[in-house]
Amino acid sequence: MSIALRSKKEIDLLHRSNIIVARALQEVKKNAKIGINLDELDKIAEDFILSSDARPSFKGLYGFPKAICLSVNNVIIHGIPNSYKLKNGDILGVDIGVECGGWYGDGAITFEIGNIQDSDKKLISASSFVLDSAIEQIKIGMRFKELSGILQELIIDSGFVPLRGFCGHGIGRKPHEEPEIPNFIDTSIMQGPKIKNGMVFCIEPMICQKSGKPKILDDKWSVVSEDGLNGSHHEHTIAMIDNKAVILSQF
């Protein structure tokens, strides 16, 4: 496994792409009101990204048809924007990828539409908490499998289970690079590559309520849990700088 070590200049370029991701996420959140449809939000995001001298990197990636992923309620990841109009009580996951000058950014948030159930508030809060808490625990010399173990423990301690079959990942000149970073661990955590300065990667807890077994819907993209219940997803792009994990996908 070859994991790139980025220079300060390269991390600065990755930061630029990720700032566009963060701003695009906030632009979607600002416009995600009751009654707006997902296609409209997709266009808002795409127009914003293009106006930032970048492009939506998900569009056409592996055949994905839209600019961003919009996942409503029980769709945890990879939801395709369509004519669905947001309703009071929905929860919406927004995942955005950007390419700017040959460098990639990636980030995701989940949030409420109107008034949501307490169980969904807990769900959204948990994936956000898991992401922030895991980032705080990253150390140079830690193995990536140790990080997966931390993510799994945080998710379970929050009362949920990790979605299986999908993972965080390295990022740089491509939207998905080595290593893979699952939110679960099936082998010894004392195996595999260690985290080093200059590495850039995405952590993205995807959490389910009862079962982590994934099911892909008929559109061939939308991922739900076999339990059919709502899920939540948050993501940041992280760079290891001067022995610390620095979030690139926020401003």
What digits encode the pLDDT tens for the residues 29-60? Answer: 999 999 999 999 999 999 999 999 999 999 99
Question: What is the Cα–Cα distance from 81 to 66, expressed in whole angstroms?
Answer: 7
Given this model, what pLDDT does residue 183 score? 98
111 pLDDT above the threshold of 80:
yes
Q: Which of 27, 24, 179, 15 is nearest to 100 (CA)?
A: 15
Q: What is the pTM of this model?
A: 0.97
Q: Residue 186 has what pLDDT? A: 87
The answer to whether the bond into 205 is cis (omega within 30° of 0) is no
Question: What is the average pLDDT score of the chain?
Answer: 97
> Which segments within 171-210 are labelled E, that is strand?
177-182, 200-203, 206-208
- Structure tokens of 207? 């959490």
First CA to last CA across the chain, in angstroms? 32
CA atoms within 13 A on the CB side of 78: 19
* Pairwise CA distance, residues 46 & 23, whole Å: 12
Asked, as a colleague might, if the bond just before 179 is cis with ω within 30 of 0, I would say yes
Q: Residue 1 above 80 pLDDT?
A: no
- pLDDT at 42 (0 to 100): 98
Pair of tokens at residue 32: 């995600």
Q: Which amino acid is at 45?
A: A
CA dist 72 and 67 (Å) reads 16
Measured CA to CA, the distance from residue 197 to residue 190 in angstroms comes to 19
Average pLDDT over residues 104-123: 98
Q: Among 239, 204, 242, which Cα is nearest to 15's?
A: 239
Sole residue written with tokens 């990022």: 171
Question: What pLDDT is stored for residue 251 in this prediction?
Answer: 82
| Structural domains for the chain | 8-247 (3.90.230.10)
Distance between CA 130 and CA 157 in Å, rounded? 10
Partners of 55 in beta bridges:
99
**Within 10 A of 227 (CB to CB), how many other CB atoms are there?**
16
